[in-house]
């Protein structure tokens, strides 16, 4: 049995993404195939009930496109820094846990690496993505502690 | 930043424990300090409401001692097989997730490795220990898929 050769790093593209990525690199086999994945949730999913769902509020699509561009830039910069080839950078759309599971299954990923936050305030909510990913993953999952409470 | 040097492997001492332990070894640094931990839950915790809690049912203590001996044997055998020194084998008593967190904190563990089961029937319940460990862990957690549904 060899160490992990096909690794998927699920990133939130926050400043803590580098910590997560560095850990993934540390435990990866020397020739490991590392994929960086960001899942963009549709804005009208996130803000349903908060922003008005009428034609009058038509700026959402533009905002989303703008955000998408910015995310692409960030992901590319991370890929450059960690020598991940552009073909291994992926922006997916949908619900994070389901998209991560789908990508892992379709690409026969052996290990999912994901950041998990300390349990305080809003971060408690953010951290739950790691729990959702663990629950129902078909492969091993490394949860990397980021922004831990002191 | 170096790879994980202090690792705790939380085992259920089932036949799948070797799979979990092998993964821990694969990602450990060459001089890593690996601790094997089994948490024995008090029987009267597990069976409360199922077995009568009266003095008439006094066999529980004997059974528990017998089980404890058997678990010690199994843990020692695993330790021998994977070159873990006897001083790094631990049987703790209490609630699994809390004991695992306590041990990890007190020993400045960098990575907890734990098996997680496929989601079917009784295994769904067993698998939930991994989720409980992830939730509230102060360090990284590697969840190793064992006995996965096909």
Cβ <8 Å between B134 and A116: yes
Q: If you average pLDDT over each of A15-19, A72-76, B133-137, B146-150, which comes out highest?
A: A72-76
In A1-145, which ranges are continuous DSSP H helix? Answer: 17-27, 43-46, 60-81, 96-106, 122-134
Instruction: Say if residue A71's pLDDT is above 70.
Output: yes
Is B149 in a helix, a strand, or coil? Answer: coil
Of A3, A26, A138, the CB nearest to B26: A3
Q: What percent of chain B has pLDDT over 70?
A: 77
Weakest mean pLDDT among A90-94, B31-35, B129-133, B137-141: B129-133
Q: ipTM of the predicted structure?
A: 0.84
pLDDT score recorded for residue B106: 97
Q: Tell me how far apart the alpha carbons of residues B102 and B112 are, in angstroms, rounded to a whole number.
A: 12
Beta bridge partners of B143: A141, B114
Residue B75 in this model has a pLDDT that exceeds 90: yes
pTM more than 0.95: no
Residues in A touching B144 (Cβ below 8 Å): 140
Residue of B135, B137, B143 lying closest to A140 (CB–CB): B143
Q: Is the pLDDT of residue A21 over 90?
A: yes
What's the N-to-C CA distance of chain A in angstroms?
Answer: 37
């Amino acid at each position: 049995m060899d160490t992990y050769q096909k690794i998927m790093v699920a990133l939130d593209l926050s400043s803590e993404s580098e910590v997560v990525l560095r850990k993934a690199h540390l435990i990866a086999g020397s020739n490991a195939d590392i994929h960086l994945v960001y899942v963009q949730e549709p804005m009208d999913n996130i803000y349903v009930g908060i922003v008005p769902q009428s034609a009058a509020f038509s700026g959402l699509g533009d905002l989303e496109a703008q955000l998408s561009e910015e995310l692409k830039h960030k992901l590319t910069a991370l890929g450059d820094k960690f020598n991940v080839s552009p073909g291994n950078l992926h922006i997916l759309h949908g619900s994070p846990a389901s998209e991560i599971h789908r990508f892992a299954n379709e690409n026969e990923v052996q290990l999912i690496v994901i950041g998990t936050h300390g349990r305080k305030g809003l971060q408690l909510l953010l951290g739950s993505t790691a729990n959702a990913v663990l629950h129902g993953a078909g492969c091993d999952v490394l949860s990397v502690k980021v922004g831990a409470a002191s």
